[in-house]
């Protein structure tokens, strides 16, 4: 499979604090990659650098061979890298339908300048209705987004990222705040949608059951570095990962200098 | 283009006002005329408020539109009503496109105060410019419409008809715009700018575009007012004038393009009758009106209709 996203030597510092150090990741097309690590390990910093919210102190990010390191979030979105948020970012006073129609409108207005797979939707409302059904949101179609329960807000947040036709979807803790009963239902729906549209996925997740079940590759972060990278079974069984990500917090060799 | 019920209602309103014009008493024509000028300005205010921003300086464009119309008559000797409105559109469009580059970066009180600052700069310039009449301003006399001379006795009705046509066209345009994908972005920006950027749109570009549209509508209102009153002065960009537009916008609500037009009429009626029957305390009447609206109808007068529908 071809490499779709290539991050080389990424560094990010906030004053004396190093949030990301020498991150090297090449993600293949159609992969589902889990990003694990304790709070402050650098997962969201990595995600924020890929989506343009943070500019790296050093290093480069290439998407399909194009350098996107210094691009603004909207430019990166237009190329095909979209994201959802840990705290759902919705248009709270608008209906669920309108939340998605905003995205359809943006794609339509950009026309041929939209860099992702397709240009404008032929039938916006029908396309949105199909997506609502796909994400189990059909019954909420005309409800005000601000009044939805948390799990539904998460789904809508992800659907809003999907409606602008991404090539890569970045999910920031998609199951946080979602009940244990709902999290697999939510992930099943999301994964069905991304598989159908052949979208590459990177998601930050604390629930190792979710990571083991849905990913085909895992990156384990610790103090701004990637300490393990590989198949889920291998990474989740790694001694350092079990000690520093899943279990206790003693520092691995060489990690202290990045604290 | 598919027309919805509101579009038909706007066109019907315009047709009724045009047909009714000659039958109406002159005081009502005058009141409607001023209301339509104000209403056109407040249509633009409504668009900005849909974005979550309020301009305390829209007198700037109201005044620029009026002076563009006046100068066409004074300096270029082209006293044509349509050309005057056209000049107002060009001048306000150009100025707002430039100022909007700065203003579109600001929100909340900063946007409000910066817009006020620009309007007060124009005020300062005008009162110091003797060639434009300084604080006295100058008279404006529109004599033709599209090159056709207007008889003095038909002047008032012609100005009224022009105000009806421009207010109707402005409302029709704004309704179509708000119903479009681009228009929907205004509400989205008010709710969550971050998300709009992460869906691939430039918030600044959308705010800038809406600011220019809003300024042009204020310019049209200003030009129509100049032709209607026949006199312009720097008070048109002084802060109480901008405050009146905010007043009417809050009084009206932002639920529909009918709201600013209806709100402007209610405002003008209250002001006229208050001035007539309570000449020393008419401002107090307006103040109490605003107080009551904010307490009982925080969504403006238009919420009376939406409440009824929801009920």
Answer whether residue A256 shows pLDDT above 70: no
Given this model, what pLDDT does residue B78 score?
Answer: 86
CA distance A202 to A38: 17
Strands A81-83 and A168-172, by their bridges, are: parallel
Q: Above pLDDT 70, what percent of chain B?
A: 98
Give the model confidence (pLDDT) of B109-151 as tens digits: 999 999 999 999 999 999 999 999 899 999 988 888 888 888 8
- Is residue A259 predicted with pLDDT exceeding 60? no
Which tokens in the block code for residue B17?
Answer: 């006002």
Cβ-Cβ contacts under 8 Å, B202 against chain A: 74
Residue A258: predicted pLDDT: 44
User: What pLDDT does residue A251 have?
Assistant: 52
CB contact under 8 A, B191 and A109: no
User: b/e map of B239-254 (b: 16 or more CB within 10 Å)?
Assistant: eebbebbbbbbbbbbb
Whether residue B310 has pLDDT greater than 70: no
Does residue B207 carry a pLDDT above 90? yes
- Whether pLDDT at B195 is above 60: yes
pTM of the model: 0.89
- Closest chain A residue by Cα to residue B182: A105
Q: What angle do CA A125, A128, A130 make, to 5 degrees?
A: 110
Is residue B54 predicted with pLDDT exceeding 90? yes
**How many contacts, defined by CB atoms under 8 Å, are there between A and B?**
76
Would you place residue A117 in the very low, low, confident or very high pLDDT band (cuts 50, 70, 90)?
low
Q: SS3 for A61?
A: strand
Q: Do B185 and A110 count as a contact with CB atoms less than 8 A apart?
A: no
Specify whether the CB–CB gap between B297 and B248 falls below 8 A.
Answer: no
Q: Which of A72, A89, A109 sits opposite B195 (nearest CB)?
A: A89
Give me the pLDDT at residue A257, please. 44
Reading the block at residue A227, the tokens are 């300490």
* Beta strands, E only, B49-200: 138-139, 144-145, 148-149
Interface contact A74-B192, CB threshold 8 A: no
Query: Residue A119's pLDDT is what?
Result: 54
Residue pair A78/A94 in contact by the 8 Å Cβ criterion: no
Residue of A92, A101, A164 lying closest to B191 (CB–CB): A92
B114 burial level (CB within 10 Å; 0-12, 13-18, 19+): middle
Distance (Å) from the C-alpha of residue A31 to the closest C-alpha of chain B? Answer: 22
Higher pLDDT pick, B143 / B81: B81
Question: In 3D, which of B68, B52, B88 has the Cα closest to residue B211?
Answer: B52
- Average pLDDT on B214-226 reads 96
Mean pLDDT is lowest, of A108-112, A252-256, B27-31, B149-153, for: A252-256
Question: Alpha-carbon distance B81 to A120, whole Å?
Answer: 42
- In this structure, are residues A224 and A258 in contact, taking their beta carbons and an 8 Å threshold? yes
Q: Which residues of A29-67 are buried (b: 16+ CB within 10 A; e: fewer)?
A: ebbbbbbbbeeebbbbbbbbbbbbbbebeebebbbbeee
How many separate helices (H) and strands (E) can be counted in chain A?
A: 9, 10
Residues of B whose CB is below 8 A from A80: none
Each residue of B169-187: pLDDT tens digit? Answer: 999 999 999 988 888 899 9
Q: What is the mean pLDDT of chain A?
A: 88
What's the distance, CA B88 to chain centroid? Answer: 13
Taking residues A64-81, report their average pLDDT: 94
Mutate to test the interface with A, among B198, B202, B209 (most CBs of A within 10 A): B198
Q: What is the pLDDT of residue B308?
A: 59
- Higher per-residue pLDDT: A241 or B309: A241
For residues A162-176, give the mean pLDDT. Answer: 92
Does residue A112 surpass a pLDDT of 70?
A: no
Residues of chain B found within 8 Å of residue A101, distances taken between Cβ atoms = 181, 184
pLDDT-above-90 percentage for chain A? 61
Separation CA B277–CA B12 (nearest Å): 34
């Amino acid at each position: 499979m071809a490499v779709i996203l290539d991050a080389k030597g990424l560094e990010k510092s906030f004053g004396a604090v190093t949030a990301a150090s020498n991150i090297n990741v090449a993600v293949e097309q159609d992969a589902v990659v889990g990003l694990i690590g304790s709070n402050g390990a650098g997962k969201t910093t990595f995600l924020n650098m890929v989506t343009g919210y943070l500019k790296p102190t050093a290093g480069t990010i290439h998407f399909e061979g194009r350098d996107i390191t210094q691009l603004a979030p909207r430019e990166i979105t237009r190329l095909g890298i979209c994201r959802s948020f840990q705290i759902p970012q919705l248009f709270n006073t608008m209906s669920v339908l309108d939340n998605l129609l905003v995205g359809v409108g943006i794609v339509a207005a950009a026309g041929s300048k939209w860099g992702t797979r397709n240009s404008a939707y032929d039938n916006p409302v029908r396309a949105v209705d199909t997506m609502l059904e796909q994400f189990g949101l059909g019954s909420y179609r005309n409800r005000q987004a601000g009044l939805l329960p948390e799990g539904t807000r998460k789904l809508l947040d992800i659907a809003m990222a999907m409606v602008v036709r991404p090539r890569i979807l970045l999910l920031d803790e998609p199951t946080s705040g979602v009940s244990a009963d709902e999290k697999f239902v939510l992930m099943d729906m999301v994964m069905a949608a991304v598989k159908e549209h052949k979208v590459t996925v990177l998601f930050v997740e604390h629930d190792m059951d979710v990571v083991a079940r849905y990913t085909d590759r895992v990156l384990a972060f610790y103090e701004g570095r990637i300490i393990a990278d590989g198949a889920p079974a291998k990474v989740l069984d790694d001694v350092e990962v079990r000690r520093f990500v899943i279990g206790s917090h003693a520092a691995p060799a060489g990690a202290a200098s990045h604290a | 283009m598919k027309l919805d019920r509101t579009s038909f209602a706007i066109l019907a309103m315009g047709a009724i006002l045009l047909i009714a014009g000659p039958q109406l008493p002159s005081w009502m024509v005058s009141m409607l005329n001023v209301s339509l000028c104000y209403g056109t300005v407040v249509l633009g205010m409504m668009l900005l408020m849909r974005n979550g921003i309020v301009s305390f300086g829209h007198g700037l464009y109201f005044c620029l539109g009026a002076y563009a119309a006046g100068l066409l008559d004074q300096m270029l000797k082209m006293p044509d009503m349509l050309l005057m409105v056209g000049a107002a559109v060009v001048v306000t469009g150009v100025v707002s496109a430039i100022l909007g580059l700065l203003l579109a970066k600001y929100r909340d009180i900063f946007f409000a105060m910066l817009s006020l600052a620009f309007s007060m700069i124009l005020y300062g310039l005008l009162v110091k410019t003797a060639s434009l009449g300084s604080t006295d301003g100058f008279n404006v006399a529109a004599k033709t419409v599209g090159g056709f001379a207007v008889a003095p006795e038909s002047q008032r009705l012609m100005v009224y008809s022009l105000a009806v046509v421009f207010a109707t066209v402005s409302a029709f345009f704004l309704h179509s715009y708000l119903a479009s994908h681009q228009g929907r972005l205004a509400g989205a920006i008010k709710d969550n700018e971050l998300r709009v950027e992460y869906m691939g749109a430039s918030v600044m570009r959308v705010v800038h575009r809406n600011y220019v549209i809003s300024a042009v509508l204020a310019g049209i209102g200003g030009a129509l007012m100049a032709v209607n009153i026949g006199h312009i002065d720097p008070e048109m960009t002084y802060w109480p004038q901008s405050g009146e537009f905010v007043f009417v916008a809050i009084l009206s609500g932002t639920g529909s393009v009918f709201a600013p037009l209806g709100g402007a009429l209610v405002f003008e009626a209250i002001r006229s009758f208050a001035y007539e029957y309570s000449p020393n305390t008419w401002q107090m009447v307006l103040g109490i009106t605003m107080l009551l609206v904010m307490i009982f109808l925080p969504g403006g007068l238009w919420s009376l209709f939406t409440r009824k529908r929801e009920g």
